[in-house]
Amino acid sequence: MNEKIVVKAEPYDFEFEPRATALMVIDMQNDFLKPGGFGEFLGNDVSLLRRAIEPIRNVLSAVRGTEIKVIHTREGHRPDLSDCPPSKLRRGRLKIRIGDEGPMGRVLVRGQKGHEIIDELKPLEGEPVIDKPGKGSFYATDLHLILQNWGIKYLVITGVTTEVCVHTTVREANDRGYECLVLEDCVASYFPEFHEVGIKMIKAQGGIFGWVSDSKRFIEAIRGLK
Ligand code: C5J
């Protein structure tokens, strides 16, 4: 469909072409959302992130079967940790660090249970999963290449955490020329106050990093695409 769809959003309506749009689901992994993972070892209450699961699930089922592409990311490292900066390994002086054995296998290591995307949001065949060593989804990954090959101009952003991997990705995407729409109820933080300010920062100054809407307004806008 060449026609543009309009979503009610802030700071003003977001217009996008479905065939040039990708839905990104960022880092919805056991390590961040389940007890006994990296998020908990950092000292966080991981239950705070669960509020995003149901809205993301609704958006995924609205988007699947339309021209809008779906792409997932996971934060984590090679088993030999050769892609993990020593600064990241040291940071926090944690008792259980990246690469150590935890209840869900080695923490934040690819191939381990903790690194997997949560059961509720498992990727379907044909939906690429980008493994990233950093917070930003573009850094040291082939995300930009895939999006360019698909002709993507617009990104609909969901996932965790609002002020860390979501924000870093939105900022990276913005500098690469993508128009980003963040769905407020589909992103979450261990710190509700950071979530609130993080969302405000995206849409301030005329949408300095992009637009903000929510799952209901987005789903309403794409009703009729299937
Ligand atoms: C964090 C992320 N918070 N996915 N990672 O360490 O936001």
Q: Is the dihedral of CA 213, 216, 220, 223 positive or negative?
A: positive
* Averaged pLDDT for residues 19-24: 98
Pick the CATH number of 19-225 from 3.40.50.850, 2.40.50.140, 3.40.50.300, 3.40.640.10: 3.40.50.850
Asked whether 165 lines ligand 1 (CB < 6 A), one says yes
34 counts as catalytic: no
Indicate which residue's Cα is closest to atom 6 of ligand 1: 164
The one catalytic residue in 84, 165, 180, 186 is 165
Q: Which residues pair with 182 in a beta bridge?
A: 157, 212
Q: How high is the pLDDT of residue 2?
A: 66
Distance 132 CA to ligand 1 centre (A): 11
What are the tens digits of pLDDT across the range 77-99? 999 999 999 999 999 999 999 99
Asked if the model's pLDDT at residue 1 lies above 80, the reply is no
Q: How high is the pLDDT of residue 3?
A: 87
Asked whether 169 lines ligand 1 (CB < 6 A), one says no
Residue extents of the structural domains in the chain: 19-225
What are the tens digits of pLDDT across the range 100-112? 999 999 999 999 9
Q: How high is the pLDDT of residue 55?
A: 99
Asked if the model's pLDDT at residue 137 lies above 80, the reply is yes
Residue found by looking up tokens 């000292």 in the block: 43
Query: How far apart are the C-alpha atoms of 91 and 110, rounded to whole Å?
Result: 20
Asked if the model's pLDDT at residue 69 lies above 70, the reply is yes
Minimum-distance ligand 1 atom for the alpha carbon of 159: 4
* Averaged pLDDT for residues 11-30: 98
Distance 171 CA to ligand 1 centre (A): 15
Q: How high is the pLDDT of residue 76?
A: 98
Distance 187 CA to ligand 1 centre (A): 12
The one catalytic residue in 34, 69, 132, 203 is 132
* Averaged pLDDT for residues 184-197: 98
The model carries a pTM of: 0.98
The verdict on whether omega for the bond into residue 161 sits within 30 degrees of 0, i.e. cis, is yes
Segment 33-40 long-range contacts (CB within 8 Å, at least 24 positions apart): 33/118, 33/160, 34/104, 34/114, 34/118, 35/103, 36/102, 36/103, 36/104, 36/114, 37/102, 37/103, 37/104, 37/107, 37/114, 38/98, 38/107, 38/108, 38/114, 39/190
Lowest mean pLDDT among 1-5, 121-125, 163-167: 1-5
* Averaged pLDDT for residues 41-61: 98
Average pLDDT, the chain: 97
Minimum-distance ligand 1 atom for the alpha carbon of 164: 7
CB 218 within 8 Å of CB 5: no
Q: How high is the pLDDT of residue 167?
A: 98
* Averaged pLDDT for residues 46-65: 98
Asked whether 160 lines ligand 1 (CB < 6 A), one says yes
Confidence at 30, pLDDT banded by 50, 70, 90: very high
